[in-house]
């Protein structure tokens, strides 16, 4: 059984976690967190990145414990523990640098730490 204690990070992929307090994860929530206006030359890239990040599936406690090969939430990363204990919706996604397109390659190379009252995004 593969056991992982934190984010996936190897030569071909890296993980990101998104916590959402109110409602479900949407591309608009991620795009709003990025704070890239429509007038920006980076808007279309940000929009594609937000759409990709919002395409992840929500994970519940049972799924997270099984996926990480642990038995209690205290064995999970701080951000995952927080999401579960504070009742946030937890989403985990993965980006690859192996030919899956420029948006995934961009996300693979970014380090993101963002938080406001409704969303937390962590990517390593």
Spatial distance between the Cα atoms of 18 and 90, rounded to a whole number of angstroms? 6
End-to-end C-alpha distance for the chain, whole angstroms: 24
For the stretch 80-97, pLDDT in tens is: 999 999 999 999 999 888
The number of CA neighbours under 13 Å toward the Cβ of 64 is 27
Q: What is the pLDDT of residue 6?
A: 52
Spatial distance between the Cα atoms of 111 and 8, rounded to a whole number of angstroms? 13
Listed residue (84, 113, 86, 122) closest to 8, CA to CA: 122
Q: What is the pLDDT of residue 121?
A: 95
φ/ψ bin of 99: left (φ > 0), alpha (ψ from -120 to 50), beta (otherwise): left
Q: What is the pLDDT of residue 38?
A: 93
The confidence band for 108, taking pLDDT boundaries of 50, 70 and 90, is: confident
The confidence band for 99, taking pLDDT boundaries of 50, 70 and 90, is: low
Query: What is the helix, strand, coil percentage profile of the chain, to 5?
Result: 40, 25, 40
Spatial distance between the Cα atoms of 72 and 107, rounded to a whole number of angstroms? 29
For the stretch 17-49, pLDDT in tens is: 999 999 999 999 999 999 999 999 999 999 999
Q: What is the pLDDT of residue 3?
A: 47
Q: What is the pLDDT of residue 2?
A: 42
For the stretch 57-82, pLDDT in tens is: 999 999 999 999 999 999 999 999 99
The confidence band for 110, taking pLDDT boundaries of 50, 70 and 90, is: confident
């Amino acid at each position: 059984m593969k056991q992982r204690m934190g984010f996936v990070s190897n030569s071909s992929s890296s993980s990101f976690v998104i916590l959402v307090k109110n409602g479900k994860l949407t591309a608009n929530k991620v795009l709003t967190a990025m704070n890239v206006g429509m007038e920006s030359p980076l808007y279309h890239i940000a929009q594609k990145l937000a759409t990709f990040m919002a395409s992840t599936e929500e994970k519940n406690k049972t799924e997270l414990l099984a996926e990480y090969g642990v038995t209690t939430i205290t064995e999970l990363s701080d951000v995952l523990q927080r999401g579960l204990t504070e009742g946030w919706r937890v989403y985990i996604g993965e980006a690859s640098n192996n030919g899956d397109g420029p948006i995934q390659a961009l996300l693979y190379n970014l380090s993101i730490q963002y938080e406001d009252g409704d969303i937390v995004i962590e990517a390593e």
